[in-house]
Amino acid sequence: MGKKKWIIPDCELPEEGEGVLKGHESVIVVNDSAEEAVIRVKLYFEEEEYAEGIEWRVLPQRVRCFRMNKRSDMNGYAVPYGKQYAMKLESTAPIVVQYGRLDNRQVNLAYYTVVGYSE
């Protein structure tokens, strides 16, 4: 189950904000296949060059959450806060992808998730 190519068009890493729950964004990947999924990540920006060289791995029959505010999850790349971008994922195995963002830069926080577009 799943697809090998995914696009998430509306990404924006929020600052941590107020409250106990800290603002973040994440990509959750499910690998339902019998092989490890090696995922190449590419970030697109409106006025800057794209960023690539980010690689994720998800073992067979596993789920893994990657946080955009964790440099260790982004192979050392620092995703800029408050700047809109899009994300492309290309996997060696079929995967299912969900994107989530917790934005609590004000007292009334917002959290939403979406499934990316797949080819």
The predicted pLDDT at position 109 comes to 65
The predicted pLDDT at position 16 comes to 79
The predicted pLDDT at position 11 comes to 93
Mean pLDDT by 10 residues, the chain (119 residues): 94 80 88 97 95 97 96 95 95 96 73 72
List the domains of the chain with CATH numbers: 3-118 (2.60.290.11)
Residue with tokens 């800057």: 48
The predicted pLDDT at position 8 comes to 94
What b-and-e string marks burial along 92-102, b requiring 16 or more CB atoms within 10 Å of the CB? ebbbbbbbebb
